[in-house]
Structure 1
Amino acid sequence: IQENLSWSLGFGVPSGFMLLSLFLFLLGIKSYRFSNARLGNKNPFARIGRVFVEAVKNRRKQDLDKYNPNETLLLLPHQDSKQFRFLDRAAISCDLVEIEEAKAVLRLVPIWMTSLVYAIVAAQSNTFFTKQGATMERSISPGVLVPSATLQGFEPLTMFVFIPIYDRLLVPIARSFTQNPLGITVLQRIGTGIFLYILAMV
């Protein structure tokens, strides 16, 4: 479609299907199950945002006791996080559970930031890879021209080839060094994948 008609139509077709899938998703919203057992019907975004707002309002107050007379959801001692103590200033008007939820969101920020590297690189294969393929000589024989979009097939094909190599060769070698049944940890796998992605982009 991109080569023979237009790029606008090529992007418009998947966009239309995405809107259709969103519409179908919303059609079944009445049948979805929602859990309001913990904090009632409070919107999670409003709940977490309120913690930050209250913490800013009370930023000049010192030595606040994390006690709310209206507290209904108490935390066990080991559930009271010592990180991001500035959010504890919201305890005057917020539940302790709400404060801990806000802290949990902040702990995700480093993961989000590092995942941007992977997302930027992964986006190349879905966009510029096809555009680069359009500039290549893709004719196999007279009258046979390979569409540039078929280059997207190399990504899953590479996975099919290297997954058995990783599972049967690399994991046993790594297991002999790390004594880990998985060879390396999940975090090490993610880090290695991001590193290889960076090398591929260079």
Structure 2
Amino acid sequence: MGSPFTRFLQVIVASLINHFRGVDVGSEYDLYEVKTKEYDILGASKLPHTAQYRFLDKAAVVTDPESSTNNRWRLCTVTQVEEFKCFIRILPIWALTIALSLSFSQLSTFFISQARTMDRNLGHHFTIPPGSILVFSAVNAIILVPIYEKLVVSNLCKHNGHPRGLTSLQRMGVGLFVSIFAMGLAALVEKRNAVTMLTL
């Protein structure tokens, strides 16, 4: 079976070879797929052809019916091409989760360093420990989740008819956008604080 990235590279190479040879994609029936019911990888199933990223379909075009179909660097299956298409589709989501990971790492590291410089006194006799500042993140979630469920979801259901208000992908997108916005805002605040400290 090998690495999936090897299979992805085979799709790229085969599609480029056929592109420079002037091969055009006709109908999906002209594309190569194994004749068996299961895929040629044990335990894997075939994927149906999709019209998106049609330039990659050139990797599965049979240019010589009498040539061997075992060389995946020259001829890929429809399923192999579709696997690469799926990988391309999730790349934007994966790239955006980097910003989310950064915000979570800040929460457990730099957030405590910031807490050390804050005024954490509650009254004259109690000071919040720096490590306990993280509790406010959980408290924030406990407060906001019921508000989201009761107000936001119910209003969105009335407008778009979705039982959860937003699809899972839309909720992920909103969450990632808010995380990126919060990280950018925090960076601007820290930059201003650094400039202020230097001028003192």
Q: Which residue of 2 aligns with 1:15?
A: none
User: Which ranges in structure 2 are unaligned for 5 or more consecutive residues?
Assistant: 25-29, 61-73, 186-200
Aligned counterparts of 1:102 and 1:194: Cα–Cα separation in 2: 24
Secondary structure at the counterpart of residue 63 of structure 1: coil
Secondary structure at the counterpart of residue 98 of structure 1: helix
Secondary structure at the counterpart of residue 20 of structure 2: coil
TM-score, structure 1 as length reference: 0.62
Tell me whether 1:86 sits opposite 2:51 in the alignment. no
Q: Which residue of 2 aligns with 1:32?
A: none
Query: What is the count of residue pairs matched by the alignment?
Result: 160
The answer (yes or no) to whether the contact 2:156–2:165 under 8 Å persists in 1 is yes
The answer (yes or no) to whether the contact 1:138–1:146 under 8 Å persists in 2 is yes
Q: Which residue of 2 aligns with 1:46?
A: 6
User: Deviations 1:94-126 (Å, cap 9, x if unpaired)?
Assistant: 222111111111111222233334334343323
The AA in structure 2 aligned to 1:67 is: Y
User: Deviations 1:156-198 (Å, cap 9, x if unpaired)?
Assistant: 2211111122222332233333333223333333333334334
The answer (yes or no) to whether the contact 1:52–1:87 under 8 Å persists in 2 is yes
The AA in structure 1 aligned to 2:51 is: K
Q: Which residue of 1 aligns with 2:144?
A: 162
Q: CA RMSD in A?
A: 3.2
Aligned counterparts of 1:82 and 1:195: Cα–Cα separation in 2: 29
Secondary structure at the counterpart of residue 182 of structure 1: coil
Q: Which residue of 1 aligns with 2:68?
A: none
Aligned counterparts of 1:90 and 1:185: Cα–Cα separation in 2: 33
Secondary structure at the counterpart of residue 166 of structure 2: coil
Higher relative contact order (CA 8 A, sep 6+): 2
Aligned counterparts of 2:160 and 2:80: Cα–Cα separation in 1: 40
The AA in structure 2 aligned to 1:84 is: Y
Tell me whether 1:148 sits opposite 2:127 in the alignment. no
Q: Which residue of 1 aligns with 2:108?
A: 126
The answer (yes or no) to whether the contact 1:71–1:95 under 8 Å persists in 2 is no
